[in-house]
Amino acid sequence: MSSDIGYCIMSNHVHLLIDTALQVPEDIDEILADDFQFTPLDRIMKRVKGPTAVYANRILDRGGQFWARESFDHYIRNERELTNVISYILMNPVKAGLVKNWEDWAFSFLKNSDG
């Protein structure tokens, strides 16, 4: 699977696509030998949500909870599913009628490191 990453920021929600496998060394023996520790997704999301909530609340001159407590995560099992998820994320502003092409939405991003 490629290491695609992307996001789409909407007015009331955010779609974020991350590749948690990037934290895994290429050599499985390295994982076993070093007692490798993965960073669980809930901790990754806490690192994203915490600072962004503080920053957003400052900009909006408000306090309190900014993000919903629950994240709706989904494990992508193959390239076809990855392609579908990327399309779903990027087409969000198009489906909402905000732009005609996803590339026109200033708050979307897609990076493909395959080349």
Best CA proximity match to 108, nearest among 60, 96, 46, 1:
96
Can you tell me the mean pLDDT for 55-73? 89
Q: DSSP letter at 24?
A: S
* Local confidence band at 1 (pLDDT 50, 70, 90 cut-offs): very low
Q: pTM for the full model?
A: 0.71
Amino acid at 41: L
Q: How far apart are CA 98 and CA 63, in angstroms?
A: 29
Task: Give residue 11's pLDDT.
Answer: 84
Mean of all residue pLDDT scores within the chain: 83
Is the pLDDT higher at 9 or at 34? 9
In the predicted structure, residue 90 carries a pLDDT above the cut 60: yes
How big is the CA angle at 41 (ends 12 and 53), to the nearest 5 degrees?
35
